[in-house]
Amino acid sequence: MRPISTIRGGVVALALALSGSKVSAEPSTTTTTTTPPTIEVTSQDVDASNQKIWAVYDALIKMWSGDFQQIGEKFAAPGIARYRMRIRTPCGYLMPENAEYCAANNTIYFDDVFVAGQVKSAAEALGSDGDMAGLGIIAHEMGHAVAMQLGHTSRNSYENESTADCLAGAFTLHARGDGTLEKGDIEEAEFGLSSAGDPTPPLTGNERVDQRILARLERVGHGTKQQRVDNFRNGLDGGAGACLQEFRGART
């Protein structure tokens, strides 16, 4: 994603976990070989990722504040806080390698080493800068804030997560419109979503048993890799109105 002029420093969703990866905040001169392969992250990687996050955070606040204004609502801009160790939030304990929107104090928390690792993993896999794999995490968590502030919460985890993925897609559409979307950004975002999709559970062939398996997955999951990409694409193709009825007819 192209740089945005304003840079600012600063329970819902488990975030997008990168299965099997390990990251280090310090520069490394050796490569550790594991299965799956380790992603080595330097302090410079983390600093670069954080700078882009502060910029995109401002862009997200500007977009959603404008969209809420169009529908006669006021968006309460969430705070944003980075962390690395296990922390306690008003929504409970949050473990490393994660991100979360906590409605209790209207704050997005993100493990900045983890997010930088997502960026580097995408960069190595796609031959790009990989930044949208990390920025998509923030857009996803901001999507939870948007949905919850409009009263959209469900006991069904998948409904919450699919809406947040869709709203991340709507932000990407907005970035395309204002010229900040770069070539490869969409592929990077989808790489990040795919890397964190729930595994497709093996089915038994027994219809009743399989229905229970799938119902349980919906209660606790983010969606399969394909579902996550499809939900993101819904927002990318149709804007915020494709995600939440309040935005239908609004210009995003």
* Residues 94-105 pLDDT 10s: 999 999 999 999
Burial of 132 (0-12, 13-18, 19+ CB in 10 A): buried
Which two structure tokens, joined as six digits, stand for 187? 């592929």
Q: What is the pTM of this model?
A: 0.80
Q: Is the pLDDT of residue 29 over 70?
A: no
Under the banding of pLDDT at 50, 70 and 90, the label for residue 207 is confident
* Residues 158-191 pLDDT 10s: 899 999 999 999 999 999 999 999 999 999 999 9
User: What pLDDT does 215 receive?
Assistant: 65
User: What pLDDT does 16 receive?
Assistant: 37
DSSP letters, 204-229, are -S-HHHHHHHHHHHHHH---BHHHHH
Q: How far apart are CA 252 and CA 239, in angstroms?
A: 7
Query: Residues of 175-211 as b/e, b for ≥16 C-beta within 10 angstroms?
Result: beeeebbbebbbbbbbbbbbbbbbeeeeeeeeeeeee
Q: Which is more confidently placed, 46 or 211?
A: 46
Q: Rounded to 10 degrees, what is the CA torsion of 215, 219, 220, 226? A: 60
Q: Cis bond leading into 36, ω under 30°?
A: yes
User: What pLDDT does 59 receive?
Assistant: 97
Q: Is the pLDDT of residue 228 over 50?
A: yes
Under the banding of pLDDT at 50, 70 and 90, the label for residue 8 is very low
Q: How far apart are CA 34 and CA 39, in angstroms?
A: 10
Could you tell me if 133 and 52 are in contact, meaning their C-beta atoms sit under 8 angstroms apart?
Answer: no
Within 10 angstroms of residue 56's Cβ, the number of other Cβ atoms is 25
- Of 164, 156, 158, 138, residue with least CA distance to 240: 164
Domain locations in the chain?
43-247
Question: What residue ranges in the chain does DSSP mark as E strands?
Answer: 79-83, 87-89, 92-94, 99-102, 107-111
Average confidence score pLDDT of the chain: 83
Q: Is the pLDDT of residue 217 over 80?
A: no
Show contacts of 198-201: CB within 8 Å, 24+ apart.
198/222, 198/223, 198/224, 199/224, 200/224, 200/225
Average pLDDT of the segment spanning 84-109? 95
Q: Is the pLDDT of residue 137 over 70?
A: yes
Q: Which has the minimum average pLDDT: 20-34, 39-53, 80-94, 138-152?
A: 20-34
Could you tell me if 100 and 80 are in contact, meaning their C-beta atoms sit under 8 angstroms apart?
Answer: no
Average pLDDT of the segment spanning 20-27? 37
